[in-house]
Chain A
């Protein structure tokens, strides 16, 4: 079920909702799994009273991981050769995220078909929280 170059066109878009109504518990799950226990993500008292933020907020890597789910659901498993992002805004409890990939290039390198993507994840207000790129191997 890998993507075939003959079925793809530059400008094609794939999008998927990857987080709905983000819970503090999911952020705790991410802290536990990743090992990043920065209290800014899970400790409301520290984050509001000491660090001065309005509430805890998600690890950037939670949003990058959720955005990666959109990529692997579309491309298939083990197809990515590169995936990189900038964290452009914070993600807060209650946020719903939609991740979108747009094809920016289809090319061949050393006999391998590759697809370049622009990646963008936005919250329910339309604010971009992740901006990045990815490259994947596709079938001829």
Chain B
């Protein structure tokens, strides 16, 4: 997976900050932001996660004209047997190299990481998959390095299994 163009837009930052419950004016007030060290509206530390919006193939976004595995009239909109829901997010790590500002345009390159297995607390194998994403700005400078770890369970979840 790669993202060719991830524009850092002020309106998107504002919505993201609202969603994490952060009312810091540096995320929406341009006039205020100009008086700060950064001199511009900046993005919150976890903002690059929203690069999913600009990944054309991101599998957790409904695609126009395709069936979606979430509910429709029944519990799934799929007409065939549903597959896995894609596992759960186990870890996320960020390294910050430069301040991410509104107006920047990033690209993202994904480097596959390691894969390892562990026995779950309630039996069943857990498979962990790591991926590393490098976000670079319009000048080619590294801005953020993100390392994510996802986990898949061998068995479907049940209400007594909480292995996230």
A residues bordering B, Cβ < 8 Å? 18-19, 26, 29-30, 32-40, 43, 45-46, 49-54, 59-62, 64-66, 68-69, 71-73, 77-78, 80-87, 89-90
A34 and B18 contacting across the interface, CB-CB below 8 Å: no
A15 to B115, CA, bound (A): 35
B96 and A35 contacting across the interface, CB-CB below 8 Å: no
B94 and A39 contacting across the interface, CB-CB below 8 Å: no
A26 and B62 contacting across the interface, CB-CB below 8 Å: no
Instruction: Take A46-B76, A61-B89 as given contacts and tell me if A77 and B69 are in contact as well, using a CB distance cutoff of 8 Å.
Output: no
For the complex with contacts A39-B85, A81-B95, A83-B93, 4 further pairs of A-B residues with Cβ separation under 8 Å are: A30-B19, A33-B50, A36-B49, A82-B95
Q: How far is the CB of B75 from chain A (nearest CB, A)?
A: 4
B49 and A77 contacting across the interface, CB-CB below 8 Å: no
Interface residues on B, range: 35 or more
Count A-B pairs with CB separation below 8 Å: 156
A34 to B49, CA, bound (A): 6
Closest to A137 in B: B96
Closest to A130 in B: B92
Interface residue B111 (Cβ < 8 Å from any Cβ of A): no
B93 and A51 contacting across the interface, CB-CB below 8 Å: no
Interface residue B61 (Cβ < 8 Å from any Cβ of A): yes
Give every chain A residue within 8 A of B36 (Cβ-Cβ).
77
Closest to A55 in B: B159
Closest to A84 in B: B93
Q: Which of B98-156 contact A (CB under 8 A)?
A: 99, 147, 156
Give every chain A residue within 8 A of B86 (Cβ-Cβ).
38
B92 and A45 contacting across the interface, CB-CB below 8 Å: no
Chain A to chain B contacts (Cβ below 8 Å), 8 pairs:
A33-B12, A39-B71, A61-B49, A61-B89, A62-B19, A65-B22, A72-B44, A87-B91
Closest to B151 in A: A87
Give every chain A residue within 8 A of B91 (Cβ-Cβ).
84-87
Instruction: Take A68-B44, A80-B96 as given contacts and tell me if A30 and B62 are in contact as well, using a CB distance cutoff of 8 Å.
Output: no
Closest to A59 in B: B89
Closest to B37 in A: A78
A82 and B96 contacting across the interface, CB-CB below 8 Å: yes
Instruction: Take A50-B82, A89-B162 as given contacts and tell me if A37 and B61 are in contact as well, using a CB distance cutoff of 8 Å.
Output: yes
Give every chain B residue within 8 A of A78 (Cβ-Cβ).
37-38, 42, 99
Closest to B162 in A: A90
Give every chain A residue within 8 A of B52 (Cβ-Cβ).
34-36
Q: Which of B75-93 contact A (CB under 8 A)?
A: 75-76, 82, 85-86, 88-93
A33 and B71 contacting across the interface, CB-CB below 8 Å: no
Quick one: CB contact mask for B28-40 with A, threshold 8 Å, 1 for yes? 0000000011100
